[in-house]
Amino acid sequence: MPDLDELKSIVGEDFLLTDPDRMESYRLDWSKGAGAGMPLAVARPGTVTEVQGVVRWASEHRIAIVPRGAGSGLSGGSLAVDGAITLSLDRMRSVSIDPATRVAVVEPGALNAEVKRAAREHQLHYPPDPSSYEICSIGGNLATNAGGLCCVKYGVTTDYVLGLDVVLADGTLVRLGGQTIKDVAGLSLLKLFVGSEGTLGIIVGATLRLIPAPAPAATLVASFPTVQAAANAVVSLGSRLRPSLVEFMDNYAINAVEDFREMGLDRSAGALLVVQCDSPGDARAAEMLVVEQICTTAGASEVFSTTDPDEGEMFLAARRAALPALERKGSMLLEDVGVPVPRLPALLDRIGAISAEHGLPIPVVAHAGDGNTHPNVIYDPAQPGALERAERAFAEVMQAAIELGGTITGEHGVGRLKKSALADQLGPEVTALTRRIKSALDPDGLLNPGAIL
């Protein structure tokens, strides 16, 4: 057992936790922690220099490091590993806005919502918006290349990263990119670290691009008799215009939300779409007419639209409540598969068949506009064999996405929960290439071992 006093002197006694009780809240994440280990210690550095110190110490002692943001990850990317240091970035959370350059300079522990709020004070906007934006950290967003609801028009995290400070496996600090919008000097190393889930380096700072605040969105809610009718509407929408949000909930999810908190949703609907358009001026109204027409043509039984932002936010609140609402229905395995948009109807078909085959509900909520779905396998842990059946269904949903030319994860990351399926998607050549990059940057395999690979 290595001497932790040195580590204590790096981050300060108060910020090196070794007591199991105090470490407990740093062991798990929102994936519910299947297989979380017991860390040697939890280090909570307050500066980049301290992060470098911790990493150098770990490198010298050949001890692994699990970097950790707010712990809201859904793929187990920050689950503690036995005998490793959990390096929590929760104390490093400064945010400063440069309105002239239109960038936010952030530390990784800052919450996504804090960045958005700081930008808003300057009439600027940071688009990426995971459903968990109130509680997830920007460092975690960068580590997973997080998406959200607005991606369909505004893109994902990587599209907003101009600069990145990264501590490498040996403690070296590299500063990649900067504040310049167009920069092709050298390899795109910056983009390689975004989405690398802490396996190549530890992100300790970022410069994020901000945009002028978009016009307020109008919102439309449409009820469809079947999942297929709603999916067909989504495909048509994408070929005609660029809505700023296209969210989907199926009948099971609608009812779970209504059970959780009465919101006046149509419990009899096969599926529901929430669509927003935020084009400026009169274009928004013209687009909303097209959206309404597409939904009606696809067979919507009821269409309601509003330009009132609060009313629109209410429908979004229903969509955002889906995850906690579904969690009350039993234990749950949360999926994140995506397909090219025209194959969304086929994917939903396959999910329906898998659900029927295993006798387990698999309600689907989706960022439908870019084909990113969250099917959730619900099971009763008290029932013998239920977990095994749920795990088989979970694996089959990923397999279906791969067969439809899609992905096992659209925005949550591979983490520890999906790594067994990754090779099926990537194939042996890309897996080998991934290992070569990993070995080049982390030859001793000390950075977040067990994640991705």
Q: Which of residues 155-174 bind a copy of itself (CB under 8 A)?
A: 155-156, 158-159, 168, 172-174
Among 181, 289, 317, 356, binds a copy of itself (CB under 8 A): 181
Q: Which two tokens stand for residue 188?
A: 């795109």
Among 105, 218, 241, 322, binds a copy of itself (CB under 8 A): 241
Q: Is 376 in the site for a copy of itself (CB under 8 A)?
A: no
Q: Which two tokens stand for residue 190?
A: 């910056």
Among 264, 280, 384, 385, binds a copy of itself (CB under 8 A): 280
Residue 1 or 187 with smaller CB distance to a copy of itself: 187
End-to-end CA separation in angstroms for the chain:
27
Beta bridge partners of 125: 211
Instruction: Say how far apart CA 222 and CA 312 lie, in whole Å.
Output: 13
Q: Is 430 in the site for a copy of itself (CB under 8 A)?
A: yes
Residue 207 or 223 with smaller CB distance to a copy of itself: 207
Among 182, 262, 264, 310, binds a copy of itself (CB under 8 A): 182
CB 289 within 8 A of CB 243: no
Q: Is 403 in the site for a copy of itself (CB under 8 A)?
A: no
Q: Which two tokens stand for residue 339?
A: 């397909």
- Neighbour-count burial of 424, counting CB atoms closer than 10 A to its CB (0-12 exposed, 13-18 middle, 19+ buried): middle
Which residue has 């400070």 as its token pair? 165
Among 45, 312, 406, 450, binds a copy of itself (CB under 8 A): 406
Residue 178 or 225 with smaller CB distance to a copy of itself: 178
Q: Is 35 in the site for a copy of itself (CB under 8 A)?
A: no
Residues 6+ apart with CB under 8 A from 19: none
- Give the up-direction half-sphere exposure of residue 25: CA atoms within 13 A in the CB hemisphere: 5
CB 106 within 8 A of CB 138: yes
Q: Is 96 in the site for a copy of itself (CB under 8 A)?
A: no
Q: Packing angle between helix 386-403 and helix 419-441, nearest 10 degrees? A: 70
Question: Binding residues for a copy of itself, how many (CB under 8 A)?
Answer: 89
Q: Is 205 in the site for a copy of itself (CB under 8 A)?
A: no
Q: Which two tokens stand for residue 237?
A: 């929408």
The letter for the amino acid at 54 is V
Q: Which two tokens stand for residue 84?
A: 């490793």
Q: How far is the CB of 35 from a copy of itself (least distance, A)?
A: 20
Q: Is 297 in the site for a copy of itself (CB under 8 A)?
A: no
Among 25, 49, 94, 180, binds a copy of itself (CB under 8 A): 180
Instruction: Say how far apart CA 143 and CA 413 lie, in whole Å.
Output: 9
Instruction: Say how far apart CA 174 and CA 163 lie, in whole Å.
Output: 11
Q: Is 121 in the site for a copy of itself (CB under 8 A)?
A: no
Q: Is 331 in the site for a copy of itself (CB under 8 A)?
A: no
Stretch of 226-234, 305-313, 320-328, 422-430 contacting a copy of itself, by CB under 8 A:
422-430
Q: How far is the CB of 276 from a copy of itself (least distance, A)?
A: 16
Which uninterrupted H or E stretch holds 165? strand 161-167
Instruction: Say how far apart CA 273 and CA 398 lie, in whole Å.
Output: 23
Residue 41 or 351 with smaller CB distance to a copy of itself: 351
Q: Is 213 in the site for a copy of itself (CB under 8 A)?
A: no
Stretch of 223-231, 268-276, 356-364, 419-427 contacting a copy of itself, by CB under 8 A:
419-427
Q: Is 289 in the site for a copy of itself (CB under 8 A)?
A: no
Q: Is 212 in the site for a copy of itself (CB under 8 A)?
A: yes
Beta bridge partners of 372: 338, 367
Q: Is 44 in the site for a copy of itself (CB under 8 A)?
A: no
Among 132, 276, 355, 372, binds a copy of itself (CB under 8 A): 372
